[in-house]
């Protein structure tokens, strides 16, 4: 039956169940013509298959009538997170990717606990183990893979299990409540995760591995030795170069005997020796198979209307077992099946980055040298860090990192792009001098670079979501894009993208009570502990105070660096690697990846010589834009990253700190020098303030202003600190903001002399330095601390003088550091301006 009404779009769903045969017709009328939805059936309800359906729905939500069969009694879940469930870090409910409602909301018919047993290619139907028959126009096989069970005597005993499903995980959890001895066969990634989880459940665990060292597919021998040492320190036991001969027991497993005659007693055996693509259904249907189901670049099998995606598919001789390439396959299939132009799936370059039982590792490409490959190797035995980069023809072809995988994403990006490494220094693992690897990598990543390998989320998707959805935090990005929603190892990169995308509006202070996700301690608690315990470095802070991530995150690294230098200006040496890329590069990164160069011009004044130098540099380096800025300085915009140090060297001018968390500028009018309304020398006072307060780090950027009369041409009442010149002195104001959330200044006091203005400004800045949260503007700080409490501190003569002295002391260390840098630069016959 079809309903039709002129001028309306109408759909009618007709479902028939006759003789156990399901027929689904979905008819709709568009512009007077009848359109019939095609029937799309998918066998498998796993990660790769459902991701493919998600991509199809994004492109053509009304093109298909979709039916999914899953042989497990669960909705789509994240198989990667089963290790975390076993380790007690999360629950089964928390690893669902798409809950039951998702299928209903998207019009997807889901059959769980029902297995497809036959594909009838002639009639284009699938048959299930419950006797149902469903017709299809297009069929996707996403049957995944199964744990490989060694074919040895006793492998069918009670207590022998693989590690692939929720049921496997629940079985191990229940077993651990009754028994205490476990053996995991397989020293690869999955086996070590299983072993760590069973240890966390209180079991005594041996790992049996046939090879001489662990994770031989991802690590070389040196890295594997470090991994084994760390795991042994955690209590994991190893039986290396052991070949399982028999699993013995009376009804239930009691132990394992090996080919060399040795044995080990156990109550549970977990097989983690590999996976096998589930191809039996396709093979029985006459579809071409090898190790997996053979597919072309559009994921088509040998039958044009049947596709395969995920671990069951074999593309160009490779059956992938990692999530990222399977998601890439899903996107390629979605584009083809919805009729979009696409080059298809062309294969994947694989990488592994996750924490194996708390041991940080990354691996990609080649792991061993050969006749055509040379290696750059750096090893810190004391810290347990090992880094190896393999090079062929000046290009990265392999990466092995252990103990510190922070360089992994950057190096992998260089590997994929086939970057020529000639300009990089090998001593810092292909890191340009003075540059923090992670932040630099994030700035250089293209929109197409993958950030979250687990969920296939690209940088461009994250940036677009941040801008369009007004996302401010990692949790918001995770919810919106799924980046970081699985293993969570990309959290630092996601937060770095947030900081880069939002710029000055990025709030690095935590929204929760903790200063960041690494610790529940607040800013005040962390600073108090730093003082009380005499902690000397950010790393010591993180270790002693038990931060979740030993290397910190994009929030706490720059914050701790700031707090440490604020508390210990003489002893602590600034960690440039913990600063944001703008601060390290001495310029703001622009939307096209170029930078701005803005030299200091006190009070907006300059000289003929400096103007000539600016013009010559702009012409020499083909700078596309030269502009007078809102802060009355001359800025060069569109500068290439590689030209930055040369431009600063040739200018020979001090940076204007137009990017920093410190005093950026003091805006002023010409005052009594020229203006007929001017009551005081506002220009001269503004220059004094700028020179007195520059360079010293503060929790966030600061802008000040001095206006020569109450007409307020310098707009000082929306500055962090403002001075209004009047006949009898100087009116002082604080806590203003002229940004997206405008806040008018509060009145502080009136003083009689320029010296008093300078002293009060120093005290004010120092009090903000000592009590502000890193990333907090003075307007927010004033709201949090309170106007009257701040005035009480600053108007107390003794407290004010003490704060000003502390500021002068800190300023001296910045001046000395600057002087030392200039002297060193002159000795090298260069002027490399780098943030001190």
Domains of the chain: 37-146+277-337 (3.50.50.60), 160-273 (3.50.50.60), 349-444 (3.30.390.30), 446-503 (1.10.10.1100), 523-578 (no CATH), 583-651 (no CATH), 666-815 (3.30.413.10)
Q: What pLDDT band is residue 3 in, cutting at 50, 70 and 90?
A: very low
pLDDT bin (cut points 50, 70, 90) of residue 411 is confident
Tokens 């004033």 belong to 782
What is the value of pTM for the model shown?
0.59
Task: Write down the pLDDT at residue 352.
Answer: 77
CA pair distance 72, 112, nearest whole angstrom: 6
- The residue-averaged pLDDT of 751-760 equals 95
Q: What whole-number percentage of the chain has pLDDT above 90? A: 49
Q: Determine if residue 24 is labeled as part of a ligand binding site.
A: no
Mean pLDDT of 77-103: 87
Decide if pLDDT at 281 tops 90.
yes
Q: Is position 312 annotated in a ligand binding site?
A: no
Tell me the pLDDT of the chain averaged across its residues. 85
- Each residue's pLDDT tens digit, 697-728: 999 999 999 999 988 888 899 999 999 999 88
Local confidence band at 29 (pLDDT 50, 70, 90 cut-offs): very low
Cβ burial 103-135 (10 Å sphere, 16+ → b, else e):
beeeebbbbbebebeebeeeebbbbbeeebbbb
pLDDT tens, position by position, 637-690: 988 888 888 888 888 887 777 778 889 889 999 898 889 899 999 999 999 999
**pLDDT band, residue 535 (cuts 50/70/90):** confident
| Over residues 561-575, mean pLDDT | 87
| pLDDT grade for 75, boundaries at 50, 70 and 90 | very high
Token code pair at residue 673: 């020098």
Dist CA 95 CA 93 (whole Å)? 6
Band (pLDDT 50/70/90 cuts) for residue 301 is very high
d(CA 552, CA 514): 13
Confidence band, pLDDT 50/70/90 cuts, at residue 753: very high
pLDDT value, residue 407: 80
Q: Which range (211-220, 424-433, 456-465) has the least confidence?
A: 424-433
Strand blocks (E) in 513-662: 595-597, 625-628, 634-639
Please check if 709 is assigned to a binding site: yes
Taking the C-alpha atoms of residue 664 and residue 662, their distance in angstroms, rounded to an integer, is 6
Does residue 517 carry a pLDDT above 80?
A: no
Contact 390, 399 (CB under 8 A): yes
Per the CB < 8 A criterion, the answer to whether 64 and 40 are in contact is yes
């Amino acid at each position: 039956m079809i309903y039709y009404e002129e001028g309306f779009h109408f759909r009618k769903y007709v479902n028939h169940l006759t003789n156990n045969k399901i027929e689904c017709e979905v008819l709709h009328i568009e512009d007077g013509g009848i359109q019939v939805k095609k029937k799309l059936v998918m066998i498998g309800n796993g990660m790769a298959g459902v991701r493919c359906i998600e991509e199809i729905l994004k492109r053509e939500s009304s093109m298909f009538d979709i039916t999914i069969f899953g042989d497990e009694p669960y909705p789509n879940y994240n198989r990667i997170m089963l290790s975390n469930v076993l380790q007690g870090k999360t629950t089964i409910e928390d690893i669902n990717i798409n809950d039951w409602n998702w299928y209903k909301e998207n019009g997807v018919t889901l059959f769980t606990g029902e297995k497809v047993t036959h594909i009838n290619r002639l009639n284009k139907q699938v048959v299930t183990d419950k006797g149902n028959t469903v017709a299809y126009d297009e069929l996707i096989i996403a049957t995944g893979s199964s744990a490989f069970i060694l074919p040895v005597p006793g492998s069918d005993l009670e207590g022998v299990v693989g590690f692939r499903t929720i049921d496997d995980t629940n079985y191990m959890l229940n077993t651990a409540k009754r028994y205490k001895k476990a053996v995991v066969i397989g020293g690869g990634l999955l086996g070590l995760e299983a072993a760590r989880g069973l240890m966390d459940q209180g079991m005594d665990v041996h790992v049996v591995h046939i090879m001489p060292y662990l994770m031989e597919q991802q690590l070389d021998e040196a890295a594997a030795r470090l991994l084994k040492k760390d795991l042994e320190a955690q209590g994991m036991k190893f039986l290396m170069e052991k070949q399982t001969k028999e699993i013995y027991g009376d009804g239930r497993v009691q132990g394992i005997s090996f080919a060399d005659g040795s044995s080990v007693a156990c109550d549970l055996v977990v097989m983690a020796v590999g996976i096998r693509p589930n191809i039996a259904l396709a093979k029985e249907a006459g579809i071409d198979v090898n190790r997996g189901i053979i597919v072309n670049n559009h994921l088509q099998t040998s039958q044009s209307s049947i596709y395969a995606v995920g671990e069951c598919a074999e593309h160009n001789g490779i059956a992938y077992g990692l999530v990222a390439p399977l998601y890439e396959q899903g996107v390629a299939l979605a584009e083809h099946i919805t009729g979009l132009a696409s080059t298809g799936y062309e294969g994947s370059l694989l990488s592994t980055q996750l924490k194996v039982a708390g041991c940080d590792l990354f691996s990609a490409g080649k792991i061993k040298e050969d006749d055509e490959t040379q290696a750059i190797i750096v090893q810190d035995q004391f810290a347990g860090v090992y880094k190896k980069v393999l090079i062929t023809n000046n290009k990265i072809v392999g990466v092995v990192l252990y103990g510190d995988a922070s360089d992994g994403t950057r190096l992998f990006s260089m590997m994929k792009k086939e970057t020529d490494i000639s300009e990089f220094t090998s001593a810092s693992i292909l890191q340009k001098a003075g540059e923090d690897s992670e932040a630099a990598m994030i700035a250089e990543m293209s929109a197409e670079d993958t950030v979250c390998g687990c969920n296939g989320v690209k940088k461009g998707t994250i940036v677009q979501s941040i801008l369009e959805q007004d996302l401010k935090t990692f949790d918001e990005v995770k919810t919106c894009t799924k980046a970081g929603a699985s293993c969570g190892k990309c959290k630092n990169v996601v937060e770095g993208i947030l900081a880069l995308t939002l710029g000055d509006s990025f709030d690095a202070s935590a929204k929760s009570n903790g200063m960041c996700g690494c610790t529940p301690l607040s800013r005040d608690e962390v600073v108090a502990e730093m003082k009380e315990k005499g902690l000397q470095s950010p790393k010591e802070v993180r270790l002693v105070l038990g931060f979740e991530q030993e290397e910190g995150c994009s929030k706490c690294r720059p914050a701790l660096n700031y707090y440490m230098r604020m508390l210990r200006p003489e002893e602590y040496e600034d960690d440039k690697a913990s600063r944001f890329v703008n601060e390290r590069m001495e310029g703001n990164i622009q939307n096209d990846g170029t930078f701005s160069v803005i030299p200091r011009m006190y009070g907006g004044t300059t000289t003929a010589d400096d103007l000539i130098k600016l013009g010559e540099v702009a012409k020499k380096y083909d700078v596309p834009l030269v502009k007078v800025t809102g802060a009355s300085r001359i800025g060069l915009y569109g500068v290439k990253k590689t030209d930055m140090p040369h431009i600063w060297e040739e200018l020979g001018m001090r940076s204007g700190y137009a990017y920093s968390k410190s005093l950026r500028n003091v805006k002023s009018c010409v005052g009594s020098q020229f203006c007929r309304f001017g009551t005081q020398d506002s220009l001269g006072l503004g220059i004094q303030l700028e020179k007195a307060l520059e360079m010293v780090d503060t929790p966030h950027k600061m802008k000040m202003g001095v206006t020569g009369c109450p007409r307020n041409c310098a707009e000082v009442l929306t500055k962090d600190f403002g001075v209004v010149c009047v006949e009898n002195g100087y009116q002082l104001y604080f806590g203003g903001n002229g940004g997206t959330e405008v806040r008018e200044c509060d009145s502080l006091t009136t003083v009689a002399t320029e010296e008093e203005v300078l002293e009060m400004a120093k005290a004010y800045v120092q009090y903000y330095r000592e009590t502000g949260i890193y990333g907090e503007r003075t307007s927010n700080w004033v709201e949090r601390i309170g106007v009257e409490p701040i005035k009480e501190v600053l108007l107390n003569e003794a407290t004010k003088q003490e704060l000003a002295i502390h500021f002068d002391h800190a300023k001296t260390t910045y001046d000395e550091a600057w002087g030392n840098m200039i002297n060193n630069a002159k000795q090298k016959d260069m002027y490399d301006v780098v943030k001190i």
